[in-house]
Amino acid sequence: MTVSNHNKKQKYQPNVSAFLAVCGRNYALILKWLPEDVIVNKPWQVEGEFGSLWVNIIENTKYTQLIEISRPIPNGHFFKSPKATVRIYHDAQLAEVLSSQQIYRLKPVYDYPNIRMHHSDEKFQVNAFLEELLKIGARRVAC
């Protein structure tokens, strides 16, 4: 007689194709308003139909850029403004979140449960959230 173990939880396996797809979409959304003449540490604002984003280029190299993206929340006394540090890979045409809010280094996979209560797929979730955040910015506005 065989005993089936339906209660045993499957170990999370990241979906690399889905992750690369969301990073590719983020890259395409960022390119819509990323300036050609980059000035490091000179923030600008991106206005959209649903609000605005503040963007600052922290680092600019030949094939990559490191940018900080935040969304100011009016009267946000109870909430922290969403903020992410994003690495843009121009050669691979990807944009990946490196840090977000209080997570300073995102791991590809987290054991669950964990002390900080991150999801098993936290890295994917944060990049998917960035995609939604980037949909705010439709056109670039100089500050």
Q: In this predicted model, what pLDDT tens digit does every residue of 82-110 receive, in sequence order?
A: 889 999 999 999 999 988 766 666 666 65
Non-local CB neighbours of 110 within 8 Å, separated by 6+ positions:
118, 119, 120, 122
Non-local CB neighbours of 142 within 8 Å, separated by 6+ positions:
44, 45
For position 78, what pLDDT does the model report? 72
Nearest to 130 by CA among 44, 28, 43: 28
Cα gap 143→140, rounded to integer Å: 10
pTM: 0.80
Q: In this predicted model, what pLDDT tens digit does every residue of 33-88 receive, in sequence order?
A: 898 888 999 999 998 877 889 999 999 999 999 999 998 887 766 777 888 999 99
